[in-house]
A = this chain, B = another copy of it.
Amino acid sequence: MLEEVIHDQCGIFSVFNNNEAADLTYFGLYALQHRGQESAGIVTSDEGKFHLHKGMGEVSEVFGDKSNLKRLSGKMAVGHTRYSTSGASSIINIQPFIITNRNEQLALAHNGNLTNAYELRQKLDAAGSIFQTTSDSEIILHLIARSKKKTRIERISSALKTVKGAYSLVFLTENSLIATRDPNGFKPLCIGKLDDSYFVTSETCALDIIGAEYVRDVEPGELIEINEKGITSHFPHPKSLIKPSFCIFEFIYFARPDSRIFGENVDKVRRRLGRQLAKEHPVDADIVIGIPDSANTATLGYSEESGIRFEIGLIRNHYVGRTFIDPRQKIRDLDVKVKFNPVKGVIEGKRVIIVDDSIVRGTTCKKLVKLVRDAGAKEVHFRVSSPPIISPCFFGIDMPTTDELIGANHSVEEIEKMLGVDSLRYLSLEGMVSMPSLPNKTFCSGCFTGKYPLKTPLGNGNKRLTKI
- Of A184-192, A237-245, A325-333, A408-416, which binds chain B? A325-333
A3 within 8 A of B: no
Report whether B345 and A60 are in contact in the complex, using a CB–CB cutoff of 8 Å: no
Contacts of A293 in B (CB 8 A): 315-316
- Total identical chains: 4
Report whether A318 and B318 are in contact in the complex, using a CB–CB cutoff of 8 Å: yes
Question: Which A residues from 422 to 468 make CB contacts under 8 A with B?
Answer: none
Write out, one digit per residue, whether chain A residues 300-344 have a CB within 8 A of any chain B CB (1) or not (0).
100010000111100111111111111010111010011001111
Contacts of A317 in B (CB 8 A): 30-31
A403 within 8 A of B: no
Report whether B331 and A27 are in contact in the complex, using a CB–CB cutoff of 8 Å: yes
* A21 to B: closest C-beta gap in Å: 11
* A297 to B: closest C-beta gap in Å: 6
A48 within 8 A of B: no
Smallest CB gap from A60: residue in B = B321
Contacts of A332 in B (CB 8 A): 211
Report whether B27 and A321 are in contact in the complex, using a CB–CB cutoff of 8 Å: no
Given the known interface contacts A257-B315, A346-B267, the answer about A323 and B128 at a Cβ–Cβ threshold of 8 Å is no
* A201 to B: closest C-beta gap in Å: 15
Report whether B26 and A325 are in contact in the complex, using a CB–CB cutoff of 8 Å: yes
**A317–B259 Cα gap in the complex (Å)?**
14
Contacts of A321 in B (CB 8 A): 58-61, 64
**A27–B328 Cα gap in the complex (Å)?**
11
Question: Which A residues from 180 to 217 make CB contacts under 8 A with B?
Answer: 205, 208-211
**CB-contact partner of A323 in B31, B60, B125, under 8 A:** B60
Write out, one digit per residue, whether chain A residues 330-373 have a CB within 8 A of any chain B CB (1) or not (0).
11101001100111111000000000000000000000000000
